């Protein structure tokens, strides 16, 4: 009986993870298509669709916030990477090529 319980909980966890991945995929696709300007369609007669649209809107807003907050950090990393590249090129050009010894 305990094994069936474990299997059932495992299936429920897998279902929850699959639903989360599906939701995240929907949010990312909607964000990409709408470029962050997604507005939910509210229809009082169809509450399930309205709830789905609202949940999707919340996800798009959160992704937009994360993108806005992460942009300065990514810009800083890109600038640091460019500086490291310039340093490596300058260092490579300042040292003559080492020729292998011939035996």
pLDDT band with cut points at 50, 70 and 90 for residue 101? low
Domains held by the chain: number? 1
22 against 90, higher pLDDT: 22
For residue 81, being part of any structural domain is answered with yes
- Burial of 16-54, coded b for 16+ CB within 10 Å and e otherwise, reads eeeeeeeeeeebeebbeeeeeebebeeeeeeeeeeeebe
Does 73 map to a domain? yes
| pLDDT at 97 (0 to 100) | 59
* Residue 95 maps to a domain: no
14 within a domain of the structure (yes/no): no
pTM: 0.66
Q: Provide the domain limits for residue 57.
A: 21-89
- Span 61-98, pLDDT tens digits: 999 999 999 999 999 999 999 899 888 888 887 766 55
Q: Determine, yes or no, domain membership for 103.
A: no
């Amino acid at each position: 009986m305990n094994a069936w319980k474990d299997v059932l909980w495992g299936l429920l966890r897998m279902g929850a993870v699959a639903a989360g991945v599906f939701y995240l995929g929907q949010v990312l696709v909607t964000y990409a298509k709408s470029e962050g300007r997604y507005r939910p369609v509210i229809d009082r007669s169809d509450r399930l669709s309205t709830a789905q649209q609202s949940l999707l809107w919340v996800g798009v807003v959160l992704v937009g916030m994360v993108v806005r907050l992460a942009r300065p950090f990514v810009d800083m990393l890109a600038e640091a990477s460019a500086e490291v590249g310039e340093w490596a090129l300058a260092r490579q050009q300042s040292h003559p090529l080492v020729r292998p010894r011939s035996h």
